[in-house]
Amino acid sequence: MTGNRDLTEKSYWQTLASRGTGRFLVLAALNERPRHGYELARAVTEACDGCCEPTDAMIYPTIRELTEGGYITCRTESQGQRQRKVCQLTDRGRAAFRAAAEVWTSVLPALQNGVDAGMKLDTLEAKEEVLV
């Protein structure tokens, strides 16, 4: 184990993947159009085919962080009795999205190659055990 983390637990890797992709998927959703928090959560869930389910504890701190960094601006809209913040990318936010998209474009194939190689090795080792 590394500190208090058990790297054999699938939940550890799920949390790590969700944190790594969540901020990018928020930027990607806002790159499409302005959205409020609930719409952002739905867009992130749809974009990752359910592999990560963003919570308010992920979405709203991300909105705050992106606002403080100048990556998004938010305006308050009234809808009936309710008010909600609608966020949109700034020029800096669009530049951040493009930079992140470029990095993810190179990282994803490398991750897939690592997974594929590991799975092939596991399959070969399992076949060897059967033969022994």
pLDDT tens-digit readout, 18-50: 777 889 999 999 999 999 999 999 999 998 877
The whole-model pTM stands at 0.78
Residue 44 domain flag: yes
Token pair in block for residue 27: 């930027």
Where residue 93 sits, what CATH number does that domain have? 1.10.10.10
Whether the CB-CB separation of 74 and 81 falls below 8 Å is answered with no
Number of helices (H), then strands (E), belonging to the chain: the values are 4, 3
pLDDT beyond 70 at 125: no
Nearest-angstrom CA–CA distance, 28 and 100 = 9
Q: Where are the alpha helices (DSSP H) in 33-90?
A: 37-47, 56-68
Report the number of distinct structural domains present in the chain.
Answer: 1
Residue 51 domain flag: yes
Residue 28 domain flag: yes
Please tell me what DSSP assigns to residue 81.
Answer: T
Residue 30 domain flag: yes
Domain region containing 91 = 10-131
Residue 78 domain flag: yes
Residue 4 domain flag: no
Q: What is the pLDDT of residues 93-124, one digit of tens each?
A: 999 999 999 999 998 888 888 888 877 766 65
